[in-house]
Amino acid sequence: MNRHFDHDVLIIGSGAAGLTLALSLAKSAKVAVLSKSAVNTGSTWFAQGGIAAVLDDEDSIEAHVADTLVAGSGLCHEDAVRFTVERSKSAIKWLIHQGVDFTREQNSDDYHLTQEGGHSHRRIIHSADATGKAVHSTLIEQVQHHPSIEIFEHHVALNLITQADAGSRKLRCTGAYALNRADDHVHVFQAKTVVLATGGASKVYLYTSNPDSASGDGIAMAWRAGCRVANMEFNQFHPTCLYHPKAKSFLMTEALRGEGAYLRLPDGTRFMPKFDERAELAPRDIVARAIDHEIKRLGCDCVYLDISHKSPEFITEHFPTVKARCLEFGIDITRDPIPVVPAAHYTCGGIVVDNNGQTDLENLYAIGETSFTGLHGANRMASNSLLECIVYAQSAAEHIASRLANVPAPQVSPNWDESRVTNSDEDVVISHNWDELRRFMWDYVGIVRTHKRLERATHRIKLLQKEIAEYYSNYKVSGDLIELRNLATVAELIIRSAMERKESRGLHYSLDHPDMSAIARDTILVPTNFAAQDIIVSA
């Protein structure tokens, strides 16, 4: 049975950004949070390294801004970088006030700060090597006990609902349709304001550090609703994911290299010094390309990350999660090097927003990895991602709260129409298309690209989208079908963006255009139903 739910604010996504926003708004609004799976899943939970912030007297806002601008290869928006960094200390204080237990120095009340690739100072505050889990579990506990916040687990958003203002042709977002995995029905969630906090799209690639939920849902829904997206060609490949046939998406935290781990070839030789003077502490795009180059040059399966020269006590204290996980696969990191390969890790592009998280569509916001704020440019610097989640969630909350009383209640939207679809007996099509999509994206639109590879990807995605659209039109929706449809949309946006960039910059490296252009430009894609225009689009 289809149901209608009404709230002041609908937040789609339950990671650090979504839950920070929910807590920041709960005093003044009735809030709904949709979570695709259990609330403690998603990329935030698995984030290991930490949060970059200016907390040390020897560090400075200017230094953090400068480091971020360098890592972003000329494409960061300096106003967005400064906006974020200037709010970093207050964001950390807010997390501590919520109860996050960050690691302290031995025999001291001072917080332990580590250094990661691209940073000129120790500014990464962390909770051992499981910072995401510490942050996420704390926020979950706060949200679950708040009377103004209602959590809907196992609900997958399908499409945004848009309506025209009375007496106006201007569109606004008034909710979303969502599939409840438990009862297999699509329900209507309406609200004065909708926020996309759905994370990135790294599951578009065969090898990724991300959980299964990272299927680009928010980006795809916003694009279909008429919002611009930007810089989708910049997909960060984390250099060091555990390479083991039984390991799935386990990340070797950046902090390992920050604390002195070396990257070695199978014969034990270090190789990063010949690629960059910063060696293992070079930004992620440089390290990932170096590893990719050596793997292809030697024809080996992986390279090795080695921290065994550090004391067992140091390793156990700083990297208990990594040590325990590797031991499950017979790897003792206090003695053995860790086999690693690059894997898709972070979507630097996304839905175009301002410093309040406002998209092109009235009353629709986007925060966290699903958004494009201008902070990351052509390459995200390590540990700026969780910071962005907290800062922009708080900024969006302030903006939403200041306007909410003047936003009219939405009109009642119709139920999701399931009258002309049937149950599928061919779900093998979904699994086959899912696998094909992720394989050709890895082969043709991966760490190193060429025009010919992108042309092949363009051809493949058009065929796949045709099949998916036909399937979507004729059969009842399922969680897998929704995600496949969104991944196909995001794949198209990535391919189109990569085709438009005729240079190599940051995370986009083209053998046909190996040099960086003297002019830095964002790649902005505009949908045919651009929401900022005075047009009406049906829900």
Catalytically active residues, by annotation: 284
Find, among 374, 371, 363, the residue nearest to 393 by Cα: 371
CA pair distance 248, 343, nearest whole angstrom: 11
CA pair distance 518, 74, nearest whole angstrom: 10
Find, among 472, 465, 466, the residue nearest to 488 by Cα: 465
Whether 254 contacts 383, CB under 8 Å:
yes
Whether 251 contacts 46, CB under 8 Å:
yes
Whether 71 contacts 504, CB under 8 Å:
no
How many Cβ atoms from other residues are within 10 Å of residue 407's Cβ? 18
CA pair distance 35, 42, nearest whole angstrom: 9
CA pair distance 321, 335, nearest whole angstrom: 16
How many Cβ atoms from other residues are within 10 Å of residue 452's Cβ? 11
Rounded to 5 degrees, φ, ψ at 116 are -130, 175
Residue spans of alpha helices (H) in 381-503? 385-403, 428-444, 451-474, 479-500
For the record, the structure tokens of 470 come out as 């036909």
- Give the Å distances, CA to CA, from 381 to 88, 284, 353, 385: 14, 8, 20, 8
CA angle 390, 234, 326 (to 5 degrees): 70
* DSSP string for 210-256: S-TT-S-HHHHHHHHHT--EE-TT-EEEEEEEE--TT--S-B--HHH
Whether 529 contacts 226, CB under 8 Å:
yes
Find, among 223, 157, 144, the residue nearest to 190 by Cα: 157
**Residue indicated by tokens 């960061």:** 76
* Local structure of 41: helix, strand or coil: coil
DSSP single-letter state for residue 261: -
CA pair distance 345, 251, nearest whole angstrom: 9
Give the number of residues written for the chain. Answer: 539
CA pair distance 115, 253, nearest whole angstrom: 12
CA pair distance 318, 256, nearest whole angstrom: 9
CA pair distance 422, 401, nearest whole angstrom: 42
CA pair distance 331, 337, nearest whole angstrom: 8
